[in-house]
Structure 1
Amino acid sequence: MSISALDVVLAGAALWLLKLVLSKKPAGRLPPGPPGLPLLANIFDLPQKEQWKTFTEWGRKYGPITHVSALGQSVVVLNDVNAASEMLDKKSTIYSDRPVLVMGGELTGWKDTLALTRYGDRFKEYRKHMHSVMGSRTNIEKTHGLFETEALEFLKRVLRKPQDLAENIRKTAGAIILQITYGYKPKEENDDFVDLVDVAIHQFSEITEPNAYLVDLFPPLQYVPSWFPGATFKKTAQSYYQTLQDMAEQPMNFVRKQIAAGEAPPSLVANLLDRQNTSEQERNIKWAAASMYSGGADTLSSALVLSERPTQTVSALYSFYLALTIYPEAQRKAQAEIDAVVGSDRLPTFADRASLPYVEALVNEVLRWGTVAPLGLPHTVTQDDIHDGYFIEKGTIVLANIKGMLHNPDVYPDPWEFKPERFIASEGKPAEQDPRACCFGFGRRICPGLLLADATVWASIVMSIAVFDVERKVVNGVEIVPEPKYSDGIISHPEHFECVVKPRSAKTEALILAH
């Protein structure tokens, strides 16, 4: 009797389930957590939506380190900055791996990007390339002119099309990262590279949704042939794989042609290709660049970017405009400070940053209040560990509840209120914890572009405050106050809201147009 493909798959699934059932008991005391069912453990306890809320509740009940298990996979949730730092920072040599995602990583090839690359030599080479252009304050300071130029371009876009605020923000972020990475200045409309990364990120968002594909729950299904009934996911994976390859390869080809013609401006890729590289080195250059490209050219959909952490820039700037719409007093205070320090005859620059403490506090509050990545990206433990007396098994997935940390009322009183003053020390009252302690991630998986994101966000915010008034929309004589609603998922953006953005005066409008 012949053995069919179905027989092979069913046998594989049976062996996989048997392995889960017979998996060894933990060698030590596990962290506390909700009790589970026999065999299935906590599979029904894991939330499908707004996971950070459930994890925050667990933190209050069980403590800062919480453990659950589902289908044989141990998961540890960290609800406290100190606990996350102790494990992910101080023990980063064993807490820096990534879990294997079958559909999102293996079948569609996204395991080649920095976000899903396993911890090892390739990961280190990616990070080294990125560090060479955005990993130090010296490198970022060299690029201040670019940030200021693109922030001014952003002002012009908003002046022309204030109703397209989200799109204007996205174009600014994409323009900066494409120039740094490939020396490529994108077109204002219908740019092929920007459109391509939008499609790729949208696809990745789809295939990494929890329980979106059965193959992630039952990995043996990945061996089913594409013609097999019900295996349409294999065809989807093949199509999405090609999109990803195009996204990584096409900008590289652009730089190669520029180099051959002697016309390549300085960029990460041009600098790295201007040397003798092995095929493996060139491959790593391509994927390091693709990770930067997609990590900076974020869309306003619920998408996971390819960088170590979802880009702060797009979501943070959209949160900034949302905050000013809801909290006009913060805008007035920031404008008064800029007027006093900078005046009205020029735009603010990075040279003014140290003299604008309220604006700095406002930027901090944007990063805290509008948390971009509620849970960051998962870490995986590469060897057994004992931490605070708890046994953390090799292969355990570790999640940092970043949104819970940034909205912890014990650390940030009135956490849902937008209060930049919380970051300004006063007599008898210290400043509250800098959100950068966790908003960019932890350990060796911390966002490699955190300095770039910080500079981009600051430049765009300070210039916007200097020249624009952000007001609530009025309908039939009634001001519409938007609700601060955020999309769910690995990366979180404010949902669409309406506001009115207009120049503060004829003089500020002239300042924008004069450059």
Structure 2
Amino acid sequence: MAFTVTSVTYLDIILAALAVYCVVRVVSRRSSLPLPPGPRRLPIIGNLLDMPLSKEWETFSKWGKEYGDIVSVTVLGQTIVVLNSAKPAIDMLDRSSAIYSDRPVIPMGGELVGWKNSLSLLPYADRFKRYRRLAKQLFGSTKTMEAFHPVEESETHRFLKRLLAHPDNFVHHIQKTAGAIILHVTHGYSVQEGEDPFVTLADTAMEQFSLSVSSTGFMVNMIPALQYVPEWMPGAGFQKTAKEWAATLEEMVDRPYQWVKSKVANGTAEMSFISHLLNEKASHGEEEFEIKWSAASLYAGGADTTVSAIISFFKAMLLWPEVAQKAQAEIDSVIGNDRLPTFADRDQLPYVNAIALEALRWHTVAPTGIPHRVMQDDIYNGYFIPKGTLVIANIWQMSHDPAVYPDPMVFKPERYLGKEPQMDPSDMSFGFGRRICPGRVLADASLFITCAMVLAAYDISPYMKNGVPERPPTVEQLPGTVSHPSKFRCSIKPRSEKALSLIEAEERN
């Protein structure tokens, strides 16, 4: 018989917090070793008042300067460990991934909205492993991704045309192109010009995802008992929001899947992640659920993260025009001006490759990622890491550590060239261990081909207002699990008449 909570008082919540606190006090006696250092804890609530309300990576970085690379706090009995440098992240999340690969329960995004069925929030268990295997079969390596290179090139060429027609809407064009590529790969779907319903759904759902899983966006994510508070109670407006966002998510998962399923049934489906699986497996029950949710996970996550990285590339080219000029000189010397770059040129364009890497580092798409959950007690560098601890990798700090990347706020592709290149940022930008992004090869390909084609075809310069260039934009990152650059405007114009003719030419198929 199912048990349903129909009403919860604030006294219930306080009593629950006290119970958790007492349990943690008992559990903490299991080891004589200390937790990692951190801000002073208050009784019962721990560090609840220390937790940042926005841009948590900045607060975590300040803690790192005061307490070291490994910092711990507790919030209502929940231990949280923040890793502020790459070494402990690699040691714990990569090398000990067997016990550091679970996910926490995130009440707002996971339980109430429903993202708990997506790959990013699934617990480390059999379903998660099946999702990963499905994704790896289709585009888990550079070799398997080659089948999709023509789609990437064709959609990026269409992107160049959209820029030509409406350059001021470059952010919208980036969103559309990223959605078009991932939808083609996962669903075999070609997006419509103008507003496309599936792309719009993905953009909306991912914006909601980013807000709903943030540790600071909703109080219910800090105090899980609040998820049982009824909608009519004061302060429970998040319940109504969750219902609305759950409906968006369900539509995003099901509508594109049903479209592919109908195409497979009548024999007109293009090759894609879903059509490949539907042709191999019976599409009902548990298997159907896993196919459509694994596809939706890739389609939703891949679109938004790639969008953020490409927008940051445009901002960097605006702020550092000498970098764009150096890349254009490389493209001109290798390719000439009679065609656009392709993936076949990649090995001969090391500076353009370095720009793509620096875009990942300079603007951190997922500044703190999604927390890992420890599955059993562990000891690291003399510190006790209890079972159930949430481990947050402060990827922003790792990517801006001056000991690893001198002048970290400067966009400098040369970091990755020469005899002593600096650390490859993709080693951390896509996450760690068994939770590393399954679509990283696709994201890497999308970022490279966009950088190469845009630089070959366009000059990016300050936006002119009444004949006067606007002031350079800030390098601020906006809050969110997936962080976008702060808004800016720029001028985007073809480099030459020859470049214009290449943009206007028919796309390659």
TM-score (norm 2): 0.93
2:343 is aligned with 1:338: no
Is the 2:18–2:44 contact (alpha carbons within 8 Å) kept by the matching residues of 1?
Answer: no
Cα displacement (A) at 1:224: 4.0
Structure 1 pair 478–43 and aligned structure 2 pair: CA distance change class (3 A): same
Structure 1 pair 213–418 and aligned structure 2 pair: CA distance change class (3 A): closer
Q: What amino acid does structure 1 have at the position aligned with 2:51? A: L
Q: Which residue of 2 aligns with 1:269?
A: 274
Distance 1:79 1:8 in 2: 38
2:242 is aligned with 1:237: yes
Cα displacement (A) at 1:357: 1.4
Q: Which 4+ residue blocks in structure 1 deviate beyond 6 angstroms? A: none
Q: Which residue of 2 aligns with 1:377?
A: 370
Cα displacement (A) at 1:172: 0.7
Equivalent residue in structure 1 for 2:313, among 320, 336, 339? 320
1:236-290 deviations in Å (ceiling 9; x for gaps)? 3333222211111111111111112111111111111122255111111111011
Structure 1 pair 42–466 and aligned structure 2 pair: CA distance change class (3 A): same
Cα displacement (A) at 1:412: 0.8
> Secondary structure at the residue paired with 1:252?
helix
Distance 2:365 2:83 in 1: 17
Is the 1:378–1:399 contact (alpha carbons within 8 Å) kept by the matching residues of 2?
Answer: yes
Q: Which residue of 1 aligns with 2:18?
A: 18
Deviates more, 1:107-116 or 1:49-58: 49-58
2:400 is aligned with 1:400: no
> Secondary structure at the residue paired with 1:76?
strand
Q: Which residue of 1 aligns with 2:92?
A: 87
Distance 1:215 1:484 in 2: 31
Q: Which residue of 1 aligns with 2:298?
A: 292
Q: Which residue of 2 aligns with 1:305?
A: none
Q: Which residue of 2 aligns with 1:196?
A: 201
Cα displacement (A) at 1:396: 0.6
> Secondary structure at the residue paired with 2:82?
strand
Q: Which residue of 1 aligns with 2:497?
A: 506
Equivalent residue in structure 2 for 1:459, among 425, 449, 456? 449
Q: What amino acid does structure 1 have at the position aligned with 2:400? A: H
Cα displacement (A) at 1:48: 1.6
Deviates more, 1:485-494 or 1:339-348: 485-494
Q: Which residue of 2 aligns with 1:438?
A: 428
**1:201-212 alignment, distance < 5 Å:** 201-212=206-217
Deviates more, 1:19-28 or 1:75-84: 19-28
Runs of at least 5 residues in structure 2 that lack an aligned partner in the other structure: none
> Secondary structure at the residue paired with 1:398?
strand
Cα displacement (A) at 1:228: 5.4
Q: What amino acid does structure 2 have at the position aligned with 1:445? A: R
> Secondary structure at the residue paired with 2:411?
coil
Between the two proteins, the alignment pairs up a number of residues equal to 496
Cα displacement (A) at 1:12: 3.8
Structure 1 pair 10–35 and aligned structure 2 pair: CA distance change class (3 A): closer
Cα displacement (A) at 1:44: 1.8
Deviates more, 1:52-61 or 1:113-122: 52-61
Is the 1:9–1:223 contact (alpha carbons within 8 Å) kept by the matching residues of 2?
Answer: no
Q: What amino acid does structure 1 have at the position aligned with 2:273? A: L
CA RMSD of aligned residues (A): 2.0
Equivalent residue in structure 2 for 1:167, among 145, 153, 172? 172
Q: What amino acid does structure 2 have at the position aligned with 1:400? A: A
Structure 1 pair 259–97 and aligned structure 2 pair: CA distance change class (3 A): same
Structure 1 pair 272–52 and aligned structure 2 pair: CA distance change class (3 A): same
Is the 1:101–1:216 contact (alpha carbons within 8 Å) kept by the matching residues of 2?
Answer: yes
2:475 is aligned with 1:484: yes
Structure 1 pair 233–401 and aligned structure 2 pair: CA distance change class (3 A): closer
> Secondary structure at the residue paired with 1:23?
helix
Structure 1 pair 341–116 and aligned structure 2 pair: CA distance change class (3 A): same
Cα displacement (A) at 1:472: 1.2
Runs of at least 5 residues in structure 1 that lack an aligned partner in the other structure: 299-310
Distance 1:176 1:151 in 2: 9
Q: Which residue of 1 aligns with 2:358?
A: 365
Distance 1:154 1:7 in 2: 52
Q: What amino acid does structure 1 have at the position aligned with 2:504? A: L
Q: What amino acid does structure 1 have at the position aligned with 2:329? A: A
Q: Which residue of 2 aligns with 1:424?
A: 417
Distance 2:252 2:67 in 1: 44
Structure 1 pair 472–394 and aligned structure 2 pair: CA distance change class (3 A): same
> Secondary structure at the residue paired with 2:379?
strand
Cα displacement (A) at 1:404: 0.5
Structure 1 pair 477–291 and aligned structure 2 pair: CA distance change class (3 A): same
> Secondary structure at the residue paired with 1:68?
strand
Distance 1:104 1:138 in 2: 34
Q: What amino acid does structure 2 have at the position aligned with 1:272? A: L
Structure 1 pair 220–33 and aligned structure 2 pair: CA distance change class (3 A): closer
Q: Percent identity?
A: 49
Distance 2:473 2:234 in 1: 47
Q: Which residue of 2 aligns with 1:411?
A: 404
Q: What amino acid does structure 1 have at the position aligned with 2:71? A: T
Q: What amino acid does structure 2 have at the position aligned with 1:479? A: P
> Secondary structure at the residue paired with 2:345?
helix
